[in-house]
Amino acid sequence: MTSILYVLQSYDVHPVIVIQAMAQLFHFLSCEVFNRILFNKKHLCRSRALQIRMNLTVIEEWVREHHLPTSLGAYFNPVIQLVQLLQCVSQLTDLMDFIHTVKAFDLLNPMQVKRLVLNYRYEVQEPKLPEEIEKYTMQLAEDTLKSLQTEKQQQQEAEKRSMDTSSSRPNSISSLGSLLIRDMIVEKRDAKYMLPFSLPTTTNMVHSGWNNTHQKPVPACKENMSLSDSIYFELKHKMSIEREKNMRERSIIPTIPEEWLERLDHHTGQY
């Protein structure tokens, strides 16, 4: 990750694009880690979940050290909830405690909880879950699947009734509904999903700069300067910032070279 971030910054890629690229990378890593934990029984245990959580903490610290938005860590929330449930699931021997605890893990759907419970690998002298909890997870997954299938049929009937209208809104709503239904019934997370991408505007490029890390820092010894030296430094610093801003404007805002203007004036004069 450090190498990717270094390459993006060394080529003066705009921070808006850098953050979106890192977000896509974090989404991919989160999905891959989540799927490998859930579909590999040797990872479905308390000790392995603790190790994975510690590794995720390293990533969170990496984000802070490189001054990236802390919101990037949100892409690992499903993985964090998965390993947290693995760490405490064997202690939830009471059905009501299990139900209330699972509801708190809102990023895990019933299918994923069912796979976790049924394939959990118990360690030595670790208490096993009661049979009623296993039956509850299976029944919850089955009821969720049935209700979503009924909802999908109702949406299809509504689409047929709205075929005569030319509005595109029903199609967009049905597409959103299909995505929500899919998230509730699939066990694997989609690592190939492309996050929304947007380019920075010209105004953002001019005012925010291509990379804030290239800005010249203010010397720490400034407080030891005399008043005249301090005033001179402030003026010099402002002129440097203004010069860099003008250079960015010239490199970003499209302009027509003078030789082309002369040609245009020449052709215009002929007419």
Chain segment 185-223, per-residue pLDDT in tens: 789 999 999 998 888 765 555 455 444 444 444 455 555
pLDDT confidence tier of residue 157, bands split at 50, 70 and 90: confident
d(CA 87, CA 48) in angstroms, rounded, equals 9
Tokens representing 269 are 């004069």
Q: For the whole model, what pTM was predicted?
A: 0.69
Q: Taking Cα atoms as reference points, which of 250, 186, 262 lies closest to residue 31?
A: 186
| Residue 171 CA: distances (Å) to CA of 123, 180, 212, 270 | 50, 14, 42, 55
Tokens representing 124 are 């030595």
Give me the chain's average pLDDT, please.
Answer: 80
Classify residue 129 by burial, with Cβ atoms within 10 Å: 0-12, 13-18, 19+.
buried
d(CA 229, CA 221) in angstroms, rounded, equals 12
* Tens digits of residue pLDDT in 72-91: 999 999 999 999 999 999 99
Q: Taking Cα atoms as reference points, which of 49, 61, 56 lies closest to residue 75?
A: 56
Query: What count of other Cβ atoms lies within 10 Å of the Cβ of residue 94?
Result: 13
Question: Inter-axis angle of helices 2-10 and 15-38, to 10 degrees?
Answer: 160
Q: Which residue has the higher pLDDT, 265 or 133?
A: 133
Secondary structure (3-state) at 64: helix
pLDDT tops 50 at residue 111: yes
Q: What percent of the chain has pLDDT over 70?
A: 72
DSSP-derived secondary structure for 22-43: HHHHHHHHHHHHHHHHHT-GGG
d(CA 122, CA 134) in angstroms, rounded, equals 14
Q: Taking Cα atoms as reference points, which of 232, 238, 213, 258 lies closest to residue 6?
A: 213
Q: Which residue has the higher pLDDT, 142 or 167?
A: 142
Secondary structure (3-state) at 247: helix
Lowest mean pLDDT among 10-24, 86-100, 116-130: 10-24
State the number of CA atoms in the 13 A half-sphere of 63 facing the CB: 18
Q: What are phi and psi of 259, to 5 degrees?
A: -65, -35
